[in-house]
Structures are given as structure tokens and as C-alpha cells.
Amino acid sequence: MRSVLRAAASAGALSVGILAAPVPAQADGEFLRVTPSTIQAGFQIEIEGFCGDNVNPATVRSEAFGVVTITPVPDQKNPNRFLHRGTATIPTDKSPRAYPVTMTCPSLQSATTILHVVNFGVPPHGPKTGGGALAGNALPTNGFTLAGVGAIALGSVLLLRRKKRRT
């Protein structure tokens, strides 16, 4: 029984590791990478690609985000080489699944990779933690609190008057 559970846990951990690793797709010298490769709907990904020596913008398409143009910027490691970079935002209502992402270079070369979209259904507001009347510097102003503060003040005044009369 334990060996079956260990095997299932190992398989699950392996599949999570494979899905989480950003792996660039490569064709004849071209590559495309989306970071992160698994993302919650509603968030932004970074796109990086290489189109050989081409210094013209490339087009990236996917059902996950539509069409995005990525522009070439000099590679920090090799200034004679240009990488194409850009970003895309995944709509909040996007269905959770694996989406192909394809980059088309100006020279018509292409590269494809996979983007995994998850959608955990983020709640529209925060958790229910109470009214928050005591939060921050604001004093509570409900009737019971005001009556209590008034009773304490009245009692203090009466006590001070009584002490004065005795002396």
C-alpha cells in the first residue's frame, strides 16, 4: 500500500516539476520562451524569442492572449545578437488548460511553445473578518460605545465632585 502511495506522490511531483519549468521551444536557431510557463489567469507573462539576426519585430499568437508584437533588444551577454522581448496579459476569464504559443519571425521562421493557464477563481473581495470598527485610528461610533464612554465620563465627574465636597 505504501509503495503505491509513494509511486503516486513521485508521479505527481514529477508532473508539477515538468509543468513549472520554463522550457524554450527551438527550431532552426529560433527559440521562444514564456515566463512563467504556468500562470494564473489575470496575470502577465514575459515573452522572449530569437529570430536569428533579424532586428525587426516578431509576432506572437496564442488563444491564451491573442496577438502580441515583440521587439528586438540587444542581448546583454552578446551585444551582436538581438533577442525579441515583450509581455502579454492573460484575461481573468480564460479557461484553464495548455495553450500553444507561436512566434513568427519577419523571415517567416517560427517557433512554438506551450503556456499552461490555471484559474483558481480568485474571490471578488477579501475574507470576512468582521466589521473592522477597531482597525486603524478610527474610534468606533456605535451607540453602545458612546453610551459606555459617556457613563465613564459622568462617573469620573461625580467622583471628583464628591471628593471636593468632603474636603
pLDDT 10s digits, 109-164: 899 999 999 988 655 556 666 665 555 555 555 666 667 778 888 888 888 887 77
Q: Would you give the distance in Å from CA 114 to the centre of its chain?
A: 18
Using pLDDT thresholds of 50, 70 and 90, give the confidence band for residue 91.
Answer: very high
Mapped onto helix, strand or coil, the DSSP state of residue 50 is strand
Maximal CA-CA distance, the chain: 102
Phi, psi of 47 (to 5 degrees): -120, 130
**Cα torsion angle, 159, 161, 166, 167, sign:** positive
Q: Where are the domains of the chain?
A: 22-118
Q: Does the global pTM surpass 0.75?
A: no
101: left (phi over 0), alpha (psi -120 to 50) or beta: beta
List beta partners, residue 31: 26, 50
Task: Write down the H helix ranges in the chain.
Answer: 2-20, 143-166
C-alpha 27/C-alpha 35 separation (Å) is: 19
16 SS3 class: helix
Q: Residue 101 above 60 pLDDT? A: yes
CATH superfamily placement of domain 22-118: Macroglobulin (MG2) domain (2.60.40.1930)
